Amino acid sequence: MRPLVFICAFVALAAALAAASLPAQGTRTVIAVTTLIDGRGQSSRDTRIVVQGSKIVAIDPNAAPIDYDLRGLTVTPGWIDTHIHLNWHFDANHKSLSGNEKPEDAALYSAEDAWVTLQDGFTTVQSLGAFIDKAVRDRIDQGLLPGPRILTSLRQITDLSGDADALRALVRQTKADGADVIKLFATSGLGAGGNQTMSNDQIQATCGEARAVGLRSVVHAIGDAGARAAVMAGCTSIEHGTFLTDETLDLMAARGTYFDPNLLVLHNYLDNRGGFSFSTETLATIEKGIAPTIDVLRRARARHVKIIFGTDAVAGAHGRNAEEFVYRVRDAHEAPMDALMSATSVSAESLGLGRQIGTIAPGFDADLVAVDGNPLTDITAVRRVVFVMKGGRIYRNGRN
């Protein structure tokens, strides 16, 4: 008997070792949905999403048994916000802070903003960005803190950051510090008129070095001249783009430069004006920026520019990121499907994650958001998030 016992033990050990060496399979979960919007412009009805571990493995209307019954709801890929500022928040006196505070306050407010953003249906964000983002990003990646997947620039590069050589060194340093992306300011802000601030040389050095070290480069540009210089320099995306001309938009379409217009940030400043120290003149300029932002979004869409979904969320906007959908559809008359694609597959592609997130199909990460209603017929359904899954883990489930 002894040899048989030995063999059995050996076989059991070998089986255990084989199981351990396989990629983690995880639990199989079947989610029943009424309307599925896949992130790439298609929708289907009365189907089931099969999730294994962190991945979607099948879309199968006959999959059983049902683990989560989301019938009556609309499911889309988890939303992506390509432009937020995670560490900007209101303090106890409802005044905006972006640093210059106690370390524990900075850490806890950033964690809080990450949590409310995920609860709002956003499973991936790009923070443009502050150094504290790195600790938050890494804790979330380890599964220790609940929040969206974070990509961060860690810092912001401006015309005052140095000459071309200094800028190339700063890009390499930012990469070594652990940044996912380079953020630069090609122009002044909306309140200051949006004129080009970095020289063409500075912009070329920054975006060129970013590309050389394998990082994307996203460019704050209000006026057309700075934006055009960034497009010519091969930078990845234009943020805001309030006064882009049709010629620059055509150039972006031809070169594949992404465009990230933001409406929520303007409304948020006006709605929460008491929390920010803006002059009356600046507030008037912000208000006057809404119409050209709507206009440039419409012109960019007509010219087939790749439009992504950023909100420029600062204090007061975290957890309300989905309002950007409402502004884009209701005020700029975007087709709801276009706005949803901007916030899913197109943004994913712009982040270099187009094969991992932003689409509901086998092989993609199981990032899902379910809303009460159908955003294709009533965009305000995005305000009624019922269910959020990120990487196969459920972070919100109003159906239980």
Kindly state whether residue 324 participates in binding Zn ion, applying the rule CB under 5 A: no
C-beta of 266: minimal distance to Zn ion in Å?
12
With a CB cutoff of 8 Å and minimum separation 6, the contacts of 317 are 84, 264, 265, 268, 311, 323
C-beta of 249: minimal distance to Zn ion in Å?
21
* Residue (84 or 386) nearer to Zn ion, CB: 84
Q: Which of 245, 230, 240, 235 is nearest to 260 (CA)?
A: 240
Contact range with Zn ion by CB under 5 A, out of 52-60, 295-303, 312-320, 346-354: 312-320
Contact range with Zn ion by CB under 5 A, out of 107-115, 116-124, 132-140, 307-315: 307-315
**46/35 Cα distance (integer angstroms):** 6
Helices and strands in the chain: count of H runs, count of E runs: 13, 17
Both tokens assigned to 50:
């099969």
Residue 314 is classified by DSSP as: -
54 SS3 class: coil
Number of residues that bind Zn ion (CB under 5 A): 1
Q: Torsion angle, CA of 33/353/229/262, rounded to 10 degrees?
A: 30
* Residue (159 or 312) nearer to Zn ion, CB: 312
**238/327 Cα distance (integer angstroms):** 19
* Residue (290 or 361) nearer to Zn ion, CB: 290
* Residue (38 or 312) nearer to Zn ion, CB: 312
C-beta of 265: minimal distance to Zn ion in Å?
7
C-beta of 128: minimal distance to Zn ion in Å?
5
C-beta of 58: minimal distance to Zn ion in Å?
39
C-beta of 224: minimal distance to Zn ion in Å?
19
Residue 365 is classified by DSSP as: B
Contact range with Zn ion by CB under 5 A, out of 119-127, 166-174, 224-232, 308-316: 308-316
Contact range with Zn ion by CB under 5 A, out of 32-40, 47-55, 227-235, 304-312: 304-312
C-beta of 262: minimal distance to Zn ion in Å?
8
Q: Torsion angle, CA of 295/261/336/126, rounded to 10 degrees?
A: 180
Answer whether 390's CB lies under 8 Å from 53's CB. no
Helices (H), the chain: 2-21, 103-119, 132-141, 164-177, 200-212, 224-232, 246-255, 264-271, 280-288, 290-302, 323-326, 336-341, 347-350
With a CB cutoff of 8 Å and minimum separation 6, the contacts of 330 are 379
- Binding to Zn ion in span 259-278, by CB under 5 A: none
Answer whether 238's CB lies under 8 Å from 221's CB. yes
* Residue (312 or 365) nearer to Zn ion, CB: 312
**161/167 Cα distance (integer angstroms):** 7
Contact range with Zn ion by CB under 5 A, out of 89-97, 244-252, 272-280, 306-314: 306-314
- Binding to Zn ion in span 168-197, by CB under 5 A: none
Nearest residue relative to Zn ion (C-beta): 312
* Residue (320 or 396) nearer to Zn ion, CB: 320
C-beta of 178: minimal distance to Zn ion in Å?
20
Answer whether 187's CB lies under 8 Å from 195's CB. yes
* Residue (324 or 365) nearer to Zn ion, CB: 324
C-beta of 365: minimal distance to Zn ion in Å?
26
* Residue (312 or 367) nearer to Zn ion, CB: 312
* Residue (76 or 152) nearer to Zn ion, CB: 152
Can you tell me which of 113, 159, 260, 312 binds Zn ion, judged by CB under 5 A?
Answer: 312
Both tokens assigned to 79:
């939303």
C-beta of 85: minimal distance to Zn ion in Å?
6
**380/345 Cα distance (integer angstroms):** 21
* Residue (81 or 120) nearer to Zn ion, CB: 81
CA 127, 133, 138, 144 torsion: positive or negative? negative
- Binding to Zn ion in span 61-90, by CB under 5 A: none
**Which chain residues interact with Zn ion by CB under 5 A?**
312
